[in-house]
Structure 1
């Protein structure tokens, strides 16, 4: 085994606060594996730079053994972006671990991680691996021991953990910890689990593993096949997980992974419930989302939580009235905290007089009293016809209402 560095970056983070959650971003690996999200080396460097600014602790930059191109991309990201821990995924084989070591050579040793995974569920053991439980256990130990000869920071994942027998899952993770793995991941690889199951499983794993390895970090990696990835990640934190594995915009295999922005903001907004913190500079979230959309030529839904264009937009008149009085009536976080300039009102058929008057004042055409009543009536008719009313359309409505009012006055003069 090579000489060990004094302390890894991950250990520094974990030692700083037992309630500090490490954010592990796999946008460049699991995210990129989703159809339509392949990225060039230049794109990966660009996204990694934003992730660094966002405060991500660990960036899984790819799967070095997948192809020579992927190894080169990881090497370039590790060479050009400084700050986070960089990680490569690896199967439980020496060749994969060697590829990860080559790819991560440009980054300081304290900031290198290899992420070794091996299927543990009955279906993976029988259909994919053709291995017994004893063989899986021995392979996991052998792979982690070899990884520790090259890396100080080793993560082990029991693939398909939530369809693995609970006792065997604990056996494998404990054996991996004995072999030198510092981070132990129990991934819901196929999005099968429910929050109650996740919370219970992590509590059980924590009780057993921390009895022998008190500094081991339990990690949660959840997929969204049943729409539960974010809820399951939060449940894992409640159960004792202190690393969450996420992606920007929730991209990833099949239905995707737990969304970085949703999990992190849930932990922040509901700190009263979860009692943990992250090191995230959340004001870069919108930038991260839009950068990923730009390099992959994709979009996010308007109603996407936290970063969607409608996340801080208000059209309903009752909501707009409340927002004008105090934004906390309908917003549980400030738009500036995630990178938006502020909230905005969408003027449409649901808007009320308060919002119409406020927008008219902003664009230099203040209206009140009978004028406001006339404009509001015309506004509703026009909104029913075309939907959203922009500033030019509002000015035209005001002008038409004023002209109609003047003509009535002339007729009765």
Structure 2
């Protein structure tokens, strides 16, 4: 059944409105594959796309400056710091952020977002001139047939505005990055026409967006591989970027796919904040990159960044949030506690972190936390006693603690444990 037939309310001449790269076969040509090593930068969208979330508090300027400092300490080396074209107040804040980066000599690439609109481009160029630092202009335009249909746009208009924006950025001396909104639902025919404009105007940086979180990992791969092949076949070098949202819960998987396929930058926000269900989680990307051998990040600083962001943006970190949640290194199961205790007795922190966790707690400045509750066994008690400086071989003490734990609900606190030890015969 055609897309027009499956959506009978749509005009018969608009079948491409329902196009998705999830329905395309990925190009398996080895020549189109990137090296296995993921070398792309992570691009922090917290202060732009992240602040579009309705549940997020827009922090004051001093707090935004501190957020930038936290990014840098965590190892983030590039970020979108705002949308200066949205008004005079936003333009002033964006200028202050750029000047802060310059004054602190942060090893940090600054970008700003804007539409293919002369006022937006001018606002970005003004910041570049006043702050006297290199800037990237992330200029976005919707390209999918569904957006064209709803907005009454046509591809010719999109082509014309891209050409005009490239000329403006070139004239003002800022780096133009072509950001294609909803690229995941844009047909090869439309993308080909836009890519031809990029080639003709010398564009060498292109961001593919999964604006509504529609992509599956194989759809992400199909789009990236096809795009790379298109430019390669025409002898034009272009650095690809990926910007993903989390509507289907796949933003992290899609972003890791984009990194594995050689994207120069992959975008995300701290704690995955953003409109609707949010963006790809930058912190989870950092954790995964670190576990894959990238030593450019500081996970302890990342935890501090996330905790500060949660405070000033007025968002919570779920108890079970990967790597950063309060419960992610806690266990009360006796089998787990037994293995962790044995690893602890071997004196190997890495071993203790790895036996029942894929993310080392020590990298985040944390430790394995073995709880004692109604489902615990003797190993839980002995681990607590050992790590708190008590004799763990006293069977009567272990028995007294276990009896108390199994008679209650929830884990015993450190204070309760010490009280039992003090009163046990």
* Counterpart for residue 198 of structure 1: 220
**Corresponding residue to 1:222 among 232, 244, 260:** 244
Distance change >3 Å, CA 53–CA 102, structure 1 → 2: same
Determine if the alignment matches structure 1 residue 285 to structure 2 residue 283.
no
Deviation at 1:364, TM superposition (A): 4.0
Indicate yes or no: 2:158 matched with 1:136: yes
Q: How is 1:9-408 mapped onto 2 (pairs within 5 angstroms)?
A: 19-37=38-56, 38-81=58-101, 82-109=106-133, 111-128=134-151, 130-212=152-234, 215-270=237-292, 277=294, 279-324=296-341, 325=343, 326-327=351-352, 328-337=354-363, 339-382=364-407, 384-385=408-409, 387-400=410-423, 402-403=424-425
Equivalent residue, structure 1, for 2:32: none
The answer on whether the counterparts of 1:22 and 1:278 sit within 8 Å (CA) in structure 2 is: no
Q: Look up the SS of the partner of 2:81 in the other structure.
A: strand
Change in 2 beyond 3 A, CA 1:278/1:366: closer
TM-score if structure 1 supplies the norm length?
0.85
Larger RCO, structures 1/2 (Cα 8 Å, 6+ apart): 2
Q: The residue matched to 2:140 in structure 1 has which SS?
A: strand
Q: Summarize the Cα distance change of 1:284–1:145 in structure 2 as closer, same or farther, 3 Å threshold.
A: same
Instruction: Report the aligned-residue RMSD.
Output: 2.2
- Give 1:173 deviation, angstroms: 3.5
Aligned-partner SS, 1:32: helix
Cα offset, 1:248, TM superposition: 0.7
Seen in structure 2, the aligned counterparts of structure 1 residues 389 and 100 have a Cα distance that, compared at 3 Å, is same
1:14-63 C-alpha deviation (Å, 9 max, x unpaired):
xxx98521111100000011113212211211101111112222110000
Q: Match of 1:5?
A: none
What is the CA–CA distance in structure 2 between the aligned matches of 1:171 and 1:240, rounded to whole Å? 23
What is the aligned partner in structure 2 of residue 14 from structure 1? none
Which runs of 5 or more structure 1 residues have no equivalent in the other structure? 1-16, 272-276, 404-413
- CA distance 1:125–1:350, change in 2 (3 Å): same
Q: Deviation of residue 157 (structure 1)?
A: 0.8
Contact 1:144 1:154 in 2 (8 A): yes
Check the 8 A contact 2:144/2:187 in 1, yes or no: yes
Secondary structure at 1:89 match in 2: strand
Q: Compute the displacement of 1:184 (Å).
A: 0.6
Structure 2 residues not aligned, in runs of 5+: 1-35, 344-350
Larger mean CA deviation between 242-251 and 202-211 belongs to 202-211
- Residue 106 of structure 1: how far off its partner (Å): 4.8
TM-score normalised by structure 2 residue count = 0.82
Instruction: Check the 8 A contact 1:44/1:73 in 2, yes or no.
Output: no
CA distance in structure 1 between the aligned counterparts of 2:337 and 2:117, rounded to whole angstroms: 58
Provide the C-alpha distance between the structure 1 equivalents of 2:78 and 2:130, rounded to a whole number of angstroms.
16
CA contact (8 A) 1:75 1:105 kept: no
CA distance in 2, matches of 1:106, 1:57: 22
- Could you tell me how far 1:190 is from its partner in structure 2? 0.3
Aligned length: 376
- Matches of 2:214 and 2:198, distance apart in 1: 24
Alpha-carbon distance in structure 2 between the residues aligned to 1:365 and 1:192? 54
